[in-house]
Amino acid sequence: MIHRAEPIAIWDIVERIEQKPPLPLSLVPDLEEVWVREVFREAVRDTNPSLFARIGNNPAIKTCEALDRAVRELQAAEPPIQIVIVQQTSTSDGHPKIVAQSRTKGLKLIGGGASVDYGDGHGNLLTGSYPAGEVWAASSKEHLLSSPAKVTAYAIYLVDPDDIWDVKRVEVKSDRRTSRPQATAVLPAGYSLTGGGALVHGYGSHGVMLTQCGPAMIDGVWTGWTAEGKDHMKEDAAYATAWAIGIRSRNMLPGAIPKPTQLIAQMGSGRSRAAASAQAGDSQVVIGGGAAVTYDDAGGFLTAGYPAIAGKSWSASAKDHMKEDTLSITTWAIARTGEMTTLDAVRSAAAGARRLAPRDCRPPTHRDSQRKWPRTQHDDHLAGMAARNQSRLR
């Protein structure tokens, strides 16, 4: 008896069958097709849903050679991105803070943003836009003058119910408190930047506010994120913490270089206020973004950096405070091929998948057999086995 979960070459199957006269070798192609389209495909239903779907949708994948090509094509490719944006607004306060979150299964936090609404007040300035576990936090503060405001946090989630993507987050805190704190977090090799966060914290009685929450180029590649702030009018000191967030497809071959992050930059300038929006292309979705403000004299501070127009752009703004200044702002949008969807659509798709693929319809030994190898090792093993089968058949 041959166990469905045990890897075995087609040639060996024929050799094990005891029959007189022996089975003709012409049966090998038929057995090969059965193994590829039924045994192998079923074995990767959970561990590689993209490959499971590709085999099912392409009847030409019926030999080990065709299977090997399909495996390698998937390992070299990255699927389109689908995102969900969740936002939450605080009540009005001099130092408002809020988190945006979703507990929907299959979502992974890959970035976020923040904006402040201070109405006709003197101004309320961002101090944080950053990840906190699987939620996105936003914070701001009035400075020296009373100016209550509402702050909105935007959490950007990657829709990944099949666990196709690995999400990496790197956090770096500045060494000491200063009046101009700065920190830069850098992703390890093999990950594409999707976004990042910034927080100035630990300041004294006056305050330090954000001047940058944006991407950093490391050795010619956008793989980092910088957090920077400054005090204003009254001396103070704080720490800065930066977060860099990136993704990598689990289907990629070890050592493969991921699809580079595409950043679109737009600049704006003005007296006392500056704003700019960066747009994604027609087939793209904005999965993250950042901003940095520069100034001529006393200073300017970020008041917004968030996804806008249904995930098609990133908007940012800044203002001076108490002392008029000329400001320039750079806004970056991080874009990839994909689309924006809704939480309701994600939940509906998940419910439909459960109805179409109940666990009791799968081979009873499948789940246990898949635990023997990590996902990438298992996929490489299966690809190698397909190639070996093909060489035996030659």
> Cβ of 276: how many Cβ atoms within 10 Å?
20
Kindly report the backbone phi and psi dihedral angles of residue 15, in degrees, each rounded to the nearest multiple of 5, phi listed first.
Answer: -65, -30
Decide which of 53, 77, 101 is a domain's last residue. Answer: 77
Q: Are residues 251 and 328 in the same domain?
A: yes
pLDDT at 350: 81
Q: Within this chain, do residues 267 and 303 fall inside the same structural domain, yes or no?
A: yes
Residue 316 included in any domain: yes
**Is residue 390 in some structural domain?**
no
Query: Which residue is it, tokens 């074995």?
Result: 43
Q: Which residues face 326 on adjacent strands? A: 271
Q: Which has the higher per-residue pLDDT, 101 or 374?
A: 101
Cβ–Cβ < 8 Å for 96, 338: no
Q: What is the pLDDT of residues 245-267, one digit of tens each?
A: 999 988 776 667 777 779 999 99
Give the span between the Cα atoms of 7 and 2, in whole angstroms.
9
Q: Residue 336: enclosing H or E segment and its boundaries?
A: strand 326-340
| Tokens encoding 213 | 């929450």
Let me know if residue 370 belongs to a domain. no
Q: How many domains does the chain have?
A: 2
Q: Kindly state whether residues 38 and 94 are assigned to the same domain.
A: no
168 and 291 both lie in a single domain: yes
Predicted local distance difference test score (pLDDT) of residue 146: 95
153 and 299 both lie in a single domain: yes
- pLDDT confidence of residue 356: 45
Question: Which CA distances in Å does 264 have to 130, 152, 313, 331?
Answer: 21, 24, 10, 8
pLDDT at residue 394 tops 80: no
Tell whether the model's pLDDT for residue 8 goes beyond 90: no
Q: So what's the pLDDT on residue 364?
A: 34
Question: What is the rounded distance in angstroms from the CA atom of residue 308 to the CA atom of residue 311?
Answer: 6
| Residue 15 belongs to a domain | yes
What's the rounded Cα separation, in Å, for the pair 93 and 103?
A: 27
- Which residues make beta-bridge pairs with 158? 83, 108
- Cα separation, 41 vs 366, in Å, equals 12
What are 122-150's pLDDT values in tens digits? 999 999 999 999 999 999 999 999 999 99
User: 61 lies in which domain range?
Assistant: 1-77
- Check if the beta carbon of residue 147 is closer than 8 Å to that of residue 118: yes
Mode of pairing for the β-strands spanning 273-279 and 313-319? antiparallel
Residue 365 belongs to some domain of the structure? no
Task: Indicate if the pLDDT at residue 376 is higher than 50.
Answer: no
Asked whether residue 195 falls in the same domain as residue 141, the answer is yes
390: helix, strand or coil: helix
Tell me which of 77, 95, 127 is where a domain ends. 77
Query: Is 80 exceeded by the pLDDT of residue 100?
Result: yes
Average pLDDT over residues 155-170: 94
Same domain, 128 and 59: no
Q: Position 272: which residue type?
A: S
Q: Are residues 133 and 259 in the same domain?
A: yes
Can you give the pLDDT at residue 118? 96
Asked if residue 382 is part of any domain, the answer here is no
Phi then psi for 177, rounded to 5 degrees? -80, 130
Last residue of a domain, one of 340, 372, 388: 340
DSSP state of 268: E
How high is the pLDDT of residue 184?
98
DSSP letters spanning 346-357: HHHHHHHHHHHS
Can you give the pLDDT at residue 236? Answer: 97
| Claim to verify: residue 269 and residue 139 sit in the same structural domain | yes
87 lies in the same domain as 73: no
> Tokens 């990944």, residue?
160
161 and 190 assigned to the same domain = yes
At residue 340, the pLDDT reads 95
pLDDT in tens, 170-225: 999 999 999 999 999 999 998 999 999 999 999 999 999 999 999 999 999 999 99
Do 69 and 177 have their domain in common?
A: no
The C-alpha atoms of residue 308 and residue 114 are separated, in whole angstroms, by 11
Identify whether the C-beta of residue 225 lies closer than 8 Å to the C-beta of residue 283.
no
Place of tokens 């005891």: 18
